[in-house]
Amino acid sequence: MEGLGERFAREVEAAVKVACTFPYIGSPYKYGTRRVYPRKFPFSVVYLVRSNEVVVLAIAPFAKRPGYWRSRRRVV
């Protein structure tokens, strides 16, 4: 499909923008994280709300084993 990568990037960026604008709108998830979902793609944006910022931890596909990204978590 031509343009699929660009569409994916746009949808992920839109989901991140929603999370940044309304940090607590995302679904509560594990370990204090929250999730928002890009439209039309089987992924979630996993993030933490810290003081006055949103830290994106992963763009996680639903097909992967849950929490596979946890070992990559490095909070600054």
Domain total in the chain? 1
CATH of the domain at 28: 3.30.2310
Tokens for 70? 């946890």
Amino acid present at 13: E
Whole-angstrom Cα distance, residue 20 to residue 71? 24
3-state secondary structure of 46: strand
pTM surpassing 0.85?
A: no
Q: Which domain holds residue 26?
A: 4-72
The DSSP bridge pattern shows strands 43-50 and 53-61 to be: antiparallel
Enumerate residues 6+ apart whose C-beta is below 8 A from 25.
18, 19, 36
pLDDT per residue over 12-71, tens digit each? 999 999 999 999 999 999 889 999 999 999 999 999 999 889 999 999 887 656 666 666
